[in-house]
């Protein structure tokens, strides 16, 4: 199991690359990443070419519903950033779950 510090660094790397992609221009969405093995959720905002306001909340009903929601284990998150796991196969096998509106899913498809 990865630590929350490792997970925050991994998320900042993944989301920073995503936000910097020219296809993300104009995208302004709330996001969350639920780490099932740590029972915590990282929430923040993706917009203006950056990821802002990342903070950790305990998983529960008080977590606001984000426009873009990821769910995975801490180890899978770290594996996504170090190249040991690729998003497409991880999503297809259910290791990574992505929930968003149809318009956001179509846009994210170009980014991932």
Residue 61 pLDDT greater than 90, yes or no:
no
Q: What is the CATH number of the domain that holds 55?
A: 3.30.1050.10
CA distance 3 to 86: 20
Interval 64-107: pLDDT, tens = 899 999 999 999 999 998 889 998 899 899 999 989 888 777 77
Domain that holds residue 82: 4-111
Tally the domains of the chain. 1
pTM of the full predicted structure?
0.86
pLDDT of the residue at 32: 94
pLDDT of the residue at 49: 78
């Amino acid at each position: 199991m990865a630590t929350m510090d490792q997970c925050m660094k991994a998320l900042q790397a993944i989301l920073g690359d995503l936000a910097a992609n020219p296809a993300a221009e104009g995208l302004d969405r709330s996001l969350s990443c639920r780490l099932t093995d740590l029972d915590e959720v990282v929430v923040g905002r993706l917009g203006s070419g950056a990821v802002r306001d990342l903070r950790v909340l305990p998983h529960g009903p008080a977590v606001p519903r984000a426009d873009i929601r990821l769910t995975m284990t801490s180890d899978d998150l770290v594996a996504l950033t170090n190249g040991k796991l690729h998003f497409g196969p991880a999503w297809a096998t259910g290791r990574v779950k992505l929930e968003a509106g149809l318009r956001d899913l179509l846009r994210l498809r170009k980014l991932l």
